[in-house]
């Protein structure tokens, strides 16, 4: 029997969510599935560690594994989109997440800039969760803060790989997955979100927190916020489409696109 964490998001999917076709070439992008966040939560001490039980109970890590395997079988791109700690010796002034970051990083480093790739604590937090790999053929990008495109080269990588559609997973659904879809839309990538491969987490440290708030957020995310930017479905539906994938389809023919006359 599925737990409430397992169906927190999927119960809000539309009845026809599995009725879609992949447009062009797909890539799988896994957000923040790194030791410092979804793994051990060291980068957000009041958010990450308490969320780990929910992450485990939701089954999202197992769903990510299944998606990775399906993409590997078709030799399709898998990208781990990991986030750096605060990249400068100060952080954003407003926002619960940035308040948490300051508590974790600035206290630790006394407001000084650190080399995140040589500092042992930061370097460990940037590693992909051991449960997920990465495999030799996978890619890892490193971004600043909320979404994975900032200063990471992800957009260039996806264009180089000739990707049209991105399957977004990761932690957390209402933050990085949502912002990923928004920024991807501005860059003309199509977005698909298997909502059971990401997890809604409202940390108890949030002011005005109450039991069940994450259920409200999940409904809003799947029914409204993500749905405005992406196609929401589940892992089984995505894997079914990937297994049937035999090359890009549905891309627009440039010869019939309207051209600007000068």
Average pLDDT of adjacent 10-residue blocks, the chain of 262 residues: 79 97 97 94 80 89 98 98 78 79 73 77 93 95 92 96 97 95 97 96 85 93 97 98 92 58 48
Q: Give me the pLDDT at residue 118, please.
A: 84
| Most distant CA pair in the chain, distance | 63
Q: Which of 108, 90, 96, 94 is nearest to 36 (CA)?
A: 108
Q: Give me the pLDDT at residue 262, please.
A: 44
pTM: 0.92
């Amino acid at each position: 029997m599925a737990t409430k964490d397992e169906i927190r998001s999927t119960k809000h999917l539309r009845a026809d969510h599995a009725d879609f076709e992949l447009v062009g070439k797909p890539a799988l992008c896994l957000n923040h599935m790194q030791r410092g966040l979804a793994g051990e939560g060291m980068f957000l001490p009041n958010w990450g560690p308490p969320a780990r039980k929910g992450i485990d109970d939701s089954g999202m890590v197992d769903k990510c594994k299944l998606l990775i395997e399906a993409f590997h079988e078709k030799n399709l791109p898998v990208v781990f989109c990991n986030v750096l700690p605060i990249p400068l010796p100060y952080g954003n002034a407003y926002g619960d997440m940035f308040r948490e970051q300051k508590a974790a990083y600035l206290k630790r480093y006394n407001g000084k800039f650190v080399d995140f790739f040589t500092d042992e604590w930061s370097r460990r937090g940037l590693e992909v969760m051991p449960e997920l790999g990465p495999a030799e053929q996978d890619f890892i990008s490193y971004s600043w803060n909320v979404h994975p495109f900032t200063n990471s080269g992800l957009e260039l990588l996806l264009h180089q790989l000739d990707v049209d559609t991105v399957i977004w997973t990761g932690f957390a659904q209402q933050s990085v997955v949502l912002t990923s879809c928004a920024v991807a839309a501005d860059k003309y990538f199509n977005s698909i979100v298997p909502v059971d491969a990401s997890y809604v987490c409202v940390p108890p440290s949030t002011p005005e927190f109450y039991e069940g708030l994450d259920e409200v957020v999940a409904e809003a995310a799947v029914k409204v916020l993500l749905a405005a930017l992406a196609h929401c479905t589940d892992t089984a539906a995505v894997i079914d489409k990937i297994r049937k994938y035999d090359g890009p389809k549905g891309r627009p023919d440039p010869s019939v696109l309207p051209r600007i006359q000068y």
